[in-house]
Amino acid sequence: MKYYSTNKKAPLATLAEAVVNGLAPDKGLYMPERIKRLPNSFYKEIDKLCFTDIAYSVADAFFGEDIDKEELEYIVRDTLSFDCPVVKVSDRIYSLELFHGPTLAFKDVGARFMARLLRHFKKTGKGETVNVLVATSGDTGSAVANGFLGVEGIHVYVLYPKGKVSKIQECQFTTLGNNITALEVDGVFDDCQALVKSAFMDQELNRHMLLTSANSINVARFLPQAFYYFNAYARMKAIGMADNLVICVPSGNFGNITAGLFAKEMGLPVKRFIAANNANDVFFQYLQTGKYEPRPSIQTIANAMDVGAPSNFARIYDLYGGNHDTISSIISGATYSDEQIKEAMIACHNQYGYILDPHGACGYQALKDGLKDNETGVFLETAHPAKFKETVNSTLGIELNIPKRLADFMKGEKQSVDMTKYFDDFKNFLMNE
């Protein structure tokens, strides 16, 4: 399968090229040339299949032409070393819990898959070290760092905004050492993302070292996220709740929801999607006005969604030929202030005893507000509440237990490099690596 750029000014790329390039040379995002529909027989039986079997069928549709069956099966199974269960919250609202992986957020799925795919391509390619650059507003850094930790021939640079990620998030990528370097950037997330984008565009730097991105712009990160949409549908079908299914996705860079939209294009019978934003509601505004106007991000308690210029908007736009009517018929929006997020957490905890993290809370509340009478909703609980322990404890007046795999990260020693938000400084640093 070949991959084209959303800007349509770059040559078609193979899967290996798309994964290693990250961003296309014309600054567009790679899209698979075809989105294969899975057969009706698959959907008929899907509720009888297990998660990994479902995931393999989805992976095969995208990657089957480029990776042989046994290897792909191994990559899928090794990626999904944990479950993504659907848990009932209220009569018509269910939580797709995506926090059972090693760093307790959904990004483990894409990051683990990408690390394994890159290792596969390295085995078959030349010996040069691949340098993965990743900008993070919190959870991407930990998922990518842990997904790639100790993978030979790959070095990871995590760029994160100083003072804007939680302590727990920070220690998940600053304490690892080995092939992981953390850069603490004096700026906001968008500055980190801009540094990474500039690095890919800099010819001198690209001659010096082989660079790739592990942000959700990378096809190997974002496509595998489709796996759990299929699984959610299957589990809902198994309990007879899959008709008129609405899936609600707490969104920042929009990689996660885009994977869901791809699933729908593959025939997954989801009725519609809701994109839940925090106060960074550029997409919500687009739905209302038809105008896409990025603006600087502002800090909220759902910090992994603090994105002012969502990269994957380009993919959504491309997928639907830029048609605002089509886009707003498939996706509706919602936006919540920090106060409203806290109210949602409190109400859900009081009414149903379910503890939401601030991101999932946006998803939950958007279903509460937007679900029609005949619909059933699943929201993506994108991170474990313990990752945002301070906010959750103070909002709910409880003392959360910290899962052991999270507590273990806290024991390590922080190692990070101070960095400004200016590209010249970042480039200098990399040129001397």
Ligand X SMILES: *Cc1c(COP(=O)(O)O)cnc(C)c1O
Of the candidates 323, 276, 236, the residue with the CA atom closest to the CA atom of residue 46: 236
Beta bridge partners of 418: 184
Of residues 134 and 304, the one with the C-beta less far from ligand X: 304
**Residues, the chain:** 433
Of the candidates 6, 25, 27, the residue with the CA atom closest to the CA atom of residue 17: 25
Residue 382 binds ligand X (CB under 6 A): yes
Site string for ligand X, 261-300 (x = CB under 6 A): ----------------------------------------
User: In whole angstroms, how close is the CB of 134 to ligand X at the nearest point?
Assistant: 12
Residue 251 binds ligand X (CB under 6 A): yes
User: In whole angstroms, how close is the CB of 275 to ligand X at the nearest point?
Assistant: 8
Quick one: 143 exposed, middle or buried, by C-beta within 10 A (0-12, 13-18, 19+)? buried
Structure token digits, residue 153: 């021939």
Residue of the chain from 22, 32, 102, 250 that contacts ligand X (CB under 6 A)? 250
C-alpha to C-alpha distance for 221 and 144, rounded to whole angstroms: 10
Of residues 5 and 382, the one with the C-beta less far from ligand X: 382
User: In whole angstroms, how close is the CB of 358 to ligand X at the nearest point?
Assistant: 8
Choose the stretch contacting ligand X; rule: CB under 6 A; options: 20-28, 188-196, 248-256, 292-300. Answer: 248-256
HEC states along 233-284?
Answer: HHHHHHCCCCCCEEEEEECCCCHHHHHHHHHHHCCCCCCEEEEEECCCCHHH
Of residues 131 and 253, the one with the C-beta less far from ligand X: 253
Site string for ligand X, 38-77 (x = CB under 6 A): ----------------------------------------
Active site members: 107
Residue of the chain from 21, 146, 181, 216 that contacts ligand X (CB under 6 A)? 216
Residue 383 binds ligand X (CB under 6 A): yes
User: In whole angstroms, how close is the CB of 381 to ligand X at the nearest point?
Assistant: 9
C-alpha to C-alpha distance for 131 and 75, rounded to whole angstroms: 21
CB atoms within 10 A of CB 120: 19
C-alpha to C-alpha distance for 126 and 129, rounded to whole angstroms: 9
Structure token digits, residue 370: 């937007």
Residue of the chain from 253, 277, 335, 395 that contacts ligand X (CB under 6 A)? 253
Choose the stretch contacting ligand X; rule: CB under 6 A; options: 122-130, 189-197, 245-253, 390-398. Answer: 245-253
Residue 385 binds ligand X (CB under 6 A): no
End-to-end CA distance of the chain: 35
CA angle 182, 22, 144 (to 5 degrees): 35
Structure token digits, residue 238: 């198994």
DSSP β-ladder status, 180-185 and 210-213: unpaired
User: In whole angstroms, how close is the CB of 150 to ligand X at the nearest point?
Assistant: 23
Of residues 143 and 185, the one with the C-beta less far from ligand X: 143
User: Of 79-138, which residues contact ligand X (CB under 6 A)?
Assistant: 105, 107
Q: Are 295 and 308 in contact (CB under 8 A)?
A: yes
User: Of 139-168, which residues contact ligand X (CB under 6 A)?
Assistant: 139
Of the candidates 217, 204, 192, the residue with the CA atom closest to the CA atom of residue 423: 192
User: In whole angstroms, how close is the CB of 385 to ligand X at the nearest point?
Assistant: 10
Residue of the chain from 164, 315, 342, 359 that contacts ligand X (CB under 6 A)? 359
User: In whole angstroms, how close is the CB of 360 to ligand X at the nearest point?
Assistant: 8
Residues of the shown chain interacting with ligand X in the complex, contacts defined by CB under 6 A: 105, 107, 139, 216, 250-256, 304-305, 359, 382-383
